[in-house]
Structure 1
Amino acid sequence: MANEYKFEGWMGLDAESAKGKLVWQDFEPKTWEETDVDIKVTHCGICATDLHTLRSGHGPSPYPICVGHEIVGKAVRVGKDVKKDIKVGDRVGVGAMNSSCLKPECEECSTGIEHHCPHMVVTYGSNYPDGSRSQGGYANYHRSPSHFVFKIPVELRSEEAAPMLCGGITMYAPLVDNDCRGKKVGIVGVGGLGHFGILFAKALGARRVVGISRKGDKRKDVLNMGADEYIATDEDEAWSKHHARSLDLIVCTVNSNKMPLTDYLGLLRVYGTFIQVGAPEDVLPELHAGALIGKGIKIGGSMIGSPTQIDEMLQLAADMKIKAWVQTVAMRDVNKAIVDQDAGKARYRYTLVNESNL
């Protein structure tokens, strides 16, 4: 079957592209397999990882590259071997992961944690086994193996569902994995990721939710999201002392090695847990063992979530009427949007709208 459409997108050609210098051009999608789905992209969220990748912040990026891994659109081609209930015309989405080995002998894939498979293919900038390259959703079309394509519940608007597919699941998974129900939960860094932490912690039954960020200008927003309290670490005097031993679980989205990690750990109660989801381009701050030993604190990390968790999250959002706080931007204005994203102007997530595909 010959495609009746071309794969084109906003491509980063070098590290300068992160400064708003993406170029619209053709790209070659992954090699078609009958387990694949082609998606006509209508919406794509902007994630901080897009910026890290465009500037090679986490290592050299394979230019030219089309970023974007919060994709929503319409299925326009569905392989004959697709086992999921996906039909041409369905509204579907793809998150930060495009593929894994899915072999029965794979410990990760066979136990439902495909996102930790050593052969994972991320949604852009990865190579498939045949050598073809994954390309993301700042584009008119996206191709993905069907196992990592999700039907979007009718109750969710596309511009709100898109950022849930990476930003949302990045926060939902550690809250579920560390059973936030009935606990006092702190969300450090209330930006695109952190605001999902507030929304999902409340929906999942946390007893108390505290937003923690540097400045006080987000206080009203965070309380309106459902948080019980807000801490501005640059402005609230002696915040670490006043709130010491008050939280059971902290999920930290901060991307800077300048964060006051020891002070954050001081907020935890005995046997508390600190989960890092933000990925700085450099190292985390130094930490003295006493900060862990004295209260038996556990530090861990979390990366996106499994396909099963993504389906659960989308359904929870639909059932609980959870709405992401998004600003929509025409995809043609992506270069301005990524500069504004890097400057921290989003309140709280940008979603690109591909108006020509609506």
Structure 2
Amino acid sequence: MGSQDYKFEGWLGLDSDSANGKMVWGEFEPKPWEETDIDIKVTHCGICGSDLHTLRSGWGPTLYPCCVGHEIVGIAVRVGSKAEGGIQVGDRVGVGAQSGSCGACDECKNGNEQYCVKGMIGTYNGKYPNGGKSYGGYATYNRAPSRFVIKIPDEIPSHLAAPMLCAGATTYVPLKNNGCGPGKRVGIIGLGGLGHFALLWAKALGADYIVVIGRNSNKKDDALKLGADKYVATNDEENWVKENSRSVDLLVSSASSSKMPISDYLSLLRVGGTLIQLGVPEDGPLSVPARSLIRTGVNIGGSLIGSPSEIREMFDLAARKQVKPWVQERPMKDANQAIVDMEEGKARYRYVLVNEQ
């Protein structure tokens, strides 16, 4: 099938106002075709917080026009003669937040492509070495280098697989890398798209105890339904810090405000415990008082998405343990309304856009 047989069309952000539900449907030019590429007919695309940050140029100037969406699932319709991964036309595949790296540095060779020395190329708003620009999955088709195209296991339905490609991998990797499993006590800050995945993975990996920390109690029932042992509402419980002091080994934070009570969070860690930050605040740097680290010998770190090999490993776990994220499907044609609803915090807990054709 040649590229002339189908058109790359999608929801384009033309300026920062597009984040307010003002994306425009239009045609775009994907990266110039290389024989290592795969074209995907998009059936599903999850909505990620990063989409909104990018549409409004929240993390720096965006390369408009921009088509966002990096939780892409669809059918491979064109596979280059040098494509990796054994993918064939007709296979169900996905692409996460990354669709390029140098492939030659130590990080790339060791399966840490997301930390590529030359910089990872995002699935949207990125630039490829061949001069092309990356466009995401709020679209009819997506073109991506095969190294970053993942075959979706048969056991996982497309609407559930889509959000796993970014939100799922972003939370699975730090839990796995920090020893989440039997004998571990885990805390999760924020129950949103990322937080609810962190809870599902902590459960699937066999953590002994899981506490979810939110601002108010409106998500308590959901947290318990998803498998949490405890829910803490920081706005409603006066002594929450004291009552939960030194109660967990590992904290995963999806909060993305520089105003978060980081010292209070760190005091929830046992001696030598670790807080992993996933959210990237738009409103300035996150400052950590040295005393909070020194007092109990705790660590603070960060984690960025997941590499292709980590995403495959995550899918294996999801298939084995029947991990089912909470997903609400929305028609692709209603993408503008869906991003507004997402920004207003209405998603429970991940919106997935569905192409109807």
**Taking structure 1 as the reference length, what is the TM-score of the superposition?**
0.97
Distance 1:271 1:216 in 2: 29
What residue number does 2:195 align with? 194
Question: Which consecutive segments of 4 or more residues in structure 1 shift more than 6 A?
Answer: none
What residue number does 1:158 align with? 158
Distance 2:268 2:84 in 1: 47
- Structure 1 residue 68 displacement after superposition: 0.2
After superposition, the C-alpha distances for 1:179-236 in whole angstroms (9 at most, x for unaligned) are 1112100010110000000000110111111111111011111111111111111112
Q: Which amino acid aligns with 1:301?
A: G
What residue number does 2:123 align with? 123
Please tell me whether residue 139 in structure 1 is matched to residue 139 in structure 2: yes
Please tell me whether residue 65 in structure 1 is matched to residue 58 in structure 2: no
Distance 1:266 1:40 in 2: 48
* DSSP 3-state at the match of 1:355: coil
* DSSP 3-state at the match of 2:202: helix
Q: Which amino acid aligns with 1:319?
A: R
- Structure 1 residue 82 displacement after superposition: 1.3
* DSSP 3-state at the match of 1:87: coil
What residue number does 2:324 align with? 323
- Structure 1 residue 33 displacement after superposition: 0.7
Q: Which amino acid aligns with 1:153?
A: P
Q: Which amino acid aligns with 1:56?
A: S
Question: Which runs of 5 or more structure 1 residues have no equivalent in the other structure?
Answer: none
> What is the aligned-residue identity percentage?
59
Distance 1:39 1:266 in 2: 46
Q: Is the deviation greater in 162-171 or in 75-84?
A: 75-84
* DSSP 3-state at the match of 1:329: strand
What residue number does 1:108 align with? 107
- Structure 1 residue 282 displacement after superposition: 2.5
Distance 1:285 1:87 in 2: 45
Q: Is the deviation greater in 106-115 or in 65-74?
A: 106-115
Query: Matches of residues 169-318 of structure 1 in structure 2 within 5 Å?
Result: 169-181=169-181, 182-318=183-319
Q: Which amino acid aligns with 2:123?
A: T
Q: Which amino acid aligns with 1:330?
A: P
Distance 2:236 2:295 in 1: 28
Q: Which amino acid aligns with 2:172?
A: Y
Distance 1:216 1:2 in 2: 51
Q: Which amino acid aligns with 1:154?
A: D
Q: Which amino acid aligns with 2:312?
A: D
Query: Matches of residues 69-108 of structure 1 in structure 2 within 5 Å?
Result: 69-103=70-104, 106-108=105-107
What residue number does 2:40 align with? 39
Q: Which amino acid aligns with 2:163?
A: P
* DSSP 3-state at the match of 1:73: strand
Q: Using a 3 Å threshold, how does the CA distance of structure 1 residues 31 and 71 change in structure 2: closer, same or farther? A: same
Aligned Cα root-mean-square deviation (Å): 0.9
* DSSP 3-state at the match of 2:5: coil
* DSSP 3-state at the match of 1:112: coil
Distance 1:118 1:303 in 2: 14
After superposition, the C-alpha distances for 1:292-329 in whole angstroms (9 at most, x for unaligned) are 01111100000001111100101110111000101110
Q: Using a 3 Å threshold, how does the CA distance of structure 1 residues 251 and 117 change in structure 2: closer, same or farther? A: same
Distance 1:82 1:131 in 2: 20
Distance 2:107 2:53 in 1: 27
What residue number does 2:10 align with? 9
Distance 1:245 1:284 in 2: 26
Distance 2:341 2:66 in 1: 20
* DSSP 3-state at the match of 1:74: strand
- Structure 1 residue 283 displacement after superposition: 2.6
After superposition, the C-alpha distances for 1:257-302 in whole angstroms (9 at most, x for unaligned) are 1211110001001001000001111234432211101111100000
- Structure 1 residue 2 displacement after superposition: 4.4
After superposition, the C-alpha distances for 1:242-263 in whole angstroms (9 at most, x for unaligned) are 0001010000000111211110
- Structure 1 residue 112 displacement after superposition: 1.1
Distance 1:262 1:255 in 2: 15
* DSSP 3-state at the match of 1:257: coil
- Structure 1 residue 83 displacement after superposition: 2.9
- Structure 1 residue 101 displacement after superposition: 1.0
Q: Which amino acid aligns with 1:111?
A: N
Please tell me whether residue 148 in structure 1 is matched to residue 148 in structure 2: yes
Distance 1:254 1:126 in 2: 25
What residue number does 1:52 align with? 53
Distance 1:293 1:125 in 2: 39
